[in-house]
Amino acid sequence: MTITIRFFALLRDRAGVDQMTLSVSKGATVSDATKMIADQCPSLRELLNRIAFALNREYVEADAVLHEGDELALIPPVSGGAR
C-alpha cells in the first residue's frame, strides 16, 4: 500500500522535498516507515530518532499501524520558547 510522507523545517531542507510517497507492506507501522525513509534518505538518518510523528494530522506513537492513503508527517521539535 502507498502512503504519503510529509517533511517540515530542517527535515524538509535536508530531504530537499516537502513530500514523497512510500510503498509499505500491509500491517507496517510508523516505525517501519521511518526505517525505510532512513534507508532512502541517509541525510535524514541522524534526525529521525528525535522527532515526533503525526498520522493524518494527529500525533501518534511509533507503533501506530499504517493504512492505505495515510499521510505520515515527520514532526521536528516545534518552535517552543519556554519563557
Partner 1 sequence: MTDWIAILSTPLDVAAAVEFVRDPAAGGIDVFLGTTRAERSPEGRELLALDYAAYEEMAVQQMHKLAAEARARWPVTKLAILHRVGRVEIAQPSVVIAVSTPHRAQAFECCRYLIDELKKSVTIWKKEVWADGSATWVHPHSA
Chain contacts with partner 1 (rule: CB under 8 A) = 6, 8-10, 12-13, 50-52, 54, 57, 59, 73, 75-82
| Minimum separation from the CB atom of position 67 to partner 1 (A) | 18
| Minimum separation from the CB atom of position 9 to partner 1 (A) | 4
Q: Judged by CB, which is closer to partner 1: 38, or 75?
A: 75
Distances (CA, A) of 45 to 2, 38, 69, 82: 21, 5, 24, 28
